[in-house]
Structure 1
Amino acid sequence: MTTADDRDGDRIELLLVEPNPGDTRLFTESFRDGKLANNLHTVSDGESAIDFVRQRGEYADAPRPDLVLLEPELPGVGASEVLSELRGEPAVADVPVVVLSSSDAGEQILRSRGLDADHIIQKPIEPGEFIEFVQSVEDFWLAIIEQPSADD
Structure 2
Amino acid sequence: MQRKIPGEPFQILLVEDNPGDIRLIMEVMKEAKISNRICVIRDGEEAVNYLRIQSALVYGTLPDLILLDWNLPKKSGYEVLQEIKEDIVLRHIPVIILTSSQTEEDIYNAYHMHANCYISKPLELDQFIRMVKAIEEFWMTAVKLPRR
Could you say which TM-score interval applies, normalised by the shorter chain? 0.7 to 0.9
Q: How many residues align?
A: 139
- Work out whether 1:24 is the aligned partner of 2:22: yes
Q: When the two structures are superposed, what TM-score results if normalisation uses the length of structure 2? A: 0.79
Give the Å deviation of 1:99: 0.3
Give the Å deviation of 1:107: 5.7
In structure 2, which of residues 96, 104, 110 is the aligned counterpart of residue 108 of structure 1? 104
Give the Å deviation of 1:110: 1.9
The aligned counterpart of 1:129 is 127
Q: Distance in 1 between matches of 2:99 and 2:76?
A: 14
Give the Å deviation of 1:123: 1.6
Q: Distance in 1 between matches of 2:136 and 2:81?
A: 21
Q: When the two structures are superposed, what TM-score results if normalisation uses the length of structure 1? A: 0.77
Q: Is the 8 A contact 2:28 2:133 kept in 1?
A: no
- Work out whether 1:14 is the aligned partner of 2:12: yes
109-118 vs 91-100, which deviates more? 109-118
Q: Distance in 1 between matches of 2:34 and 2:128?
A: 13
Where structure 2 has 5 or more consecutive residues not aligned to the other structure, the ranges are none
Counterparts in 2 of 1:80 and 1:12: CA distance versus 1, 3 Å: same
The aligned counterpart of 1:81 is 79
Counterparts in 2 of 1:108 and 1:138: CA distance versus 1, 3 Å: same
Where structure 1 has 5 or more consecutive residues not aligned to the other structure, the ranges are none
Q: Pick 1 or 2: higher relative contact order, CA cutoff 8 A, min separation 6.
A: 2
The aligned counterpart of 1:144 is 143
The RMSD of aligned alpha carbons is: 2.5
Cα deviation, 1:57-77, whole Å, max 9, x if unaligned, reads xxx797210000000001111
Q: Distance in 2 between matches of 1:132 and 1:107?
A: 22
Give the Å deviation of 1:89: 1.6
Q: Does the residue aligned with 2:135 lie in a helix, a strand or coil?
A: helix
Q: Distance in 2 between matches of 1:84 and 1:98?
A: 13
Q: Match for 1:77: what amino acid? A: K
Q: Is the 8 A contact 1:16 1:69 kept in 2?
A: yes
